[in-house]
Amino acid sequence: MVNDRVVHHFSSLDSTNRYALDLALRGATPGTLILADYQTRGRGRHDRTFCSPPGGLYFSLILQPTLNIGERPLISLAAGIGCCLALEATAPIDVFLKWPNDLFADNRKLGGILVECPAVPASAQNCTVIVGVGINVNSVPEDFPSEIRVTLTTLKTLTGETYDISRLGQAMADEIEQMVNLLIIDRPALLARWQERDYLLGKSVRVRLEERMEDAIGSGLARDGSGSYCLKKLDGTLKKILAGDILLTPENGTLHAFQEGET
């Protein structure tokens, strides 16, 4: 926990991650938190748009963990656990993680994570990492475009309550830092905690493999500690994937299209 955390809170930003990257390049203190009530150009994975209406929690956290370049993709998993812990301490809900970067509650998407790193040498240690998070908090599905409403939920929808977004953001930043520290000192323990929240485990999914879409079953994180995800193909073989989009099939009650995120 950073007791004297530097916090920048804006009514509106184009992207909290973009602002955080600029601050990091100017030497911002690790632990600096950037919050925005609204994003005009929220970013998701693969340069997709992350819809960021008022009422959501949108923040980016500047970290400087001691990890080599091959370990940095694991930060997204650590951040996901931290977000779950903060949300469950705030509201009476159970939160799960859809590999690699989405948060789900009541079988709908509640938020997403985008981790970005400025370009650094492959051998660099203590490099700056930006953890961007977008959570649907005091908004309602009607605040979002019609094509994604059925795929998402919000904290207000789940509980009927409204929440202090700034307080939740700072609590989430504290939990993320603790989980990143756990990743550094005890990776197996961190990955075991993620496995407990695996939303895809045992579910029918669809994924693009070798330029074609294939059906499979979610089978958990790879045992090699890389943070890769395993899928059981229809022929019974396991396929380990390092990156990509895993889509739930309609029989799981969730459409293929997701709000991509963050921020």
Say which CATH topology domain 7-195 has.
BirA Bifunctional Protein; domain 2 (3.30.930)
pLDDT at 252: 59
In the chain, ranges of CATH 3.30.930.10 domains = 7-195
Q: What is the 3-state secondary structure (H, E, C) of the chain?
A: CCCCCCEEEECCECCHHHHHHHHHHCCCCCCCEEEECCECCCECHHHCECCCCCCCEEEEEEECCCCCHHHCCHHHHHHHHHHHHHHHHHCCCCCEEECCCEEEECCEEEEEEEEECCCCCCCCCCCCEEEEEEECCCCCHHHCCHHHHCCECCHHHHHCCCCCHHHHHHHHHHHHHHHHHHHHHCHHHHHHHHHCCECCECCEEEEEECCEEEEEEEEEECCCCCCCEEEEECCCCEEEECCCCEEECHHHCCCCCCCCCCC
Classify domain 204-252 at the CATH class level.
mainly beta
pLDDT at 253: 44
- Quote the mean pLDDT of the chain: 86
pLDDT exceeds 60 at position 79: yes
Please report, rounded to a whole number, the percentage of residues in the chain having pLDDT higher than 70. 86
Mean pLDDT is lowest, of 8-22, 37-51, 142-156, 205-219, for 37-51
In the chain, ranges of CATH 2.30.30 domains = 204-252
pLDDT exceeds 70 at position 71: yes
pLDDT at 49: 54
pLDDT exceeds 80 at position 82: yes
